[in-house]
Chains A and B, each alone.
Chain A
Amino acid sequence: MTTAVDPKTAPPSVFPAHDGAVYEQAMGRWSRRLAPLLIEFGGLADGDRVLDVGCGTGSLSYALPEAANVAAVTGSTRPRCTSRMRAGAALTRASFSGTRMRGHCRLPMARSTAPFRCSTDVYPRCGACRR
């Protein structure tokens, strides 16, 4: 007996994240491995400004300046995740050079229901932020 799964009606799942370092081991390390492939497929040129929506521990964010001489990378994630993700972000950051992390700042997402905010100001400054 099989259970039919309709992708149209399947409920959205959630990803409860508790610890940045453990998240790195669970998924972050694989996201880092995927990042260069996604960047190549998406295309990235020198001078591009990138908004990484749902950046989490920065698996993609930190790979961007490695792939091109980007003008800015802005990461956004849920504020309540940021402290939990900080450890993982620090862990990720350690493997790349020339990156650093700053405090929160709002993203220009006018009618966003989710409180998207910038949590990691990755490289070299938070160009899309308004304060």
Chain B
Amino acid sequence: MFIPDVEHAVAEMRRVVRPGGRVAAAVWDTFGGMPNIRLLWDTAAVLDPAAERPRALFSSLTAPGEMSTMWRQVGLTEVEQTSLTIRMDYADFDDYWRPLESEGPIGLFLAGLSDEARAALREHVRRGFVYPTARARLRPPLGRVAVPCRPRGRTVFARRWPEVVIRRGA
């Protein structure tokens, strides 16, 4: 996704692969996935419309179907494209923010901001960032006993959110 001449690069991969070999690649889904990156770019765009442009949500090959199209274009056959998903768990906000300050397009973007603008952006992103500890408070461990309740005469076990009780007026 950071290769300037994508077609040339993929054509080179096709050239060096052995006959019958495979050319596999992955790019990050910067538009439809990556909430960690979207959180920062989207917040920046809300604070300052000028940040819309460097947001660059479509890098090379990240548009839907773009990879398989390119693979076929350079003469590869039996092309298959899929979505792979991983979780990104951060220990806390600093674990999320600090590496972004110096590396990659975000590091470049942050370096170009004034100290005030950078501090304001950091604070807004921090407010939007959901800590794992907050998530843990919302979702109790699985070991907790489910609480039975009886709406409309049937017994229902609220398995995912046992301590959530909705009371209607009498």
A and B bound? yes
User: Which positions in A face B, CB cutoff 8 Å?
Assistant: 3, 5-7, 10-19, 22-23, 25-27, 30, 33-34, 37-38, 41-43, 49, 51, 53-54, 107-114, 128
Q: A12-B3, A13-B59 are in contact. Are A37 and B108 (CB under 8 A)?
A: no
B1 touches A13 (CB 8 A): yes
Q: Report B57-83 CB contacts with A as 1/0, cut-off 8 Å.
A: 111101100100000000000000010
Chosen A-B contacts, 16 in total, with CB atoms closer than 8 Å, are A6-B58, A12-B4, A12-B60, A16-B104, A17-B103, A18-B102, A19-B103, A34-B86, A37-B86, A43-B24, A51-B16, A53-B13, A109-B15, A111-B12, A114-B3, A128-B16
B2 touches A15 (CB 8 A): yes
| Distance between A57 CB and nearest chain B CB, rounded to angstroms | 11
Asked whether B120 is an interface residue with its Cβ less than 8 Å from the other chain, the reply is no
B104 touches A10 (CB 8 A): no
Asked whether B56 is an interface residue with its Cβ less than 8 Å from the other chain, the reply is yes
Q: Is the interface of A mostly helix, strand, loop or mixed?
A: loop
Q: Report B19-55 CB contacts with A as 1/0, cut-off 8 Å.
A: 0001010100000000000000000000000001100
What are the residues of chain B within 8 A of A15 when measuring CB–CB? 2, 103-105
Asked whether B148 is an interface residue with its Cβ less than 8 Å from the other chain, the reply is no
What are the residues of chain A within 8 A of B8 when measuring CB–CB? 112-113
Partner among A10, A37, A54, A110 whose Cβ is within 8 Å of the Cβ of B58? A10
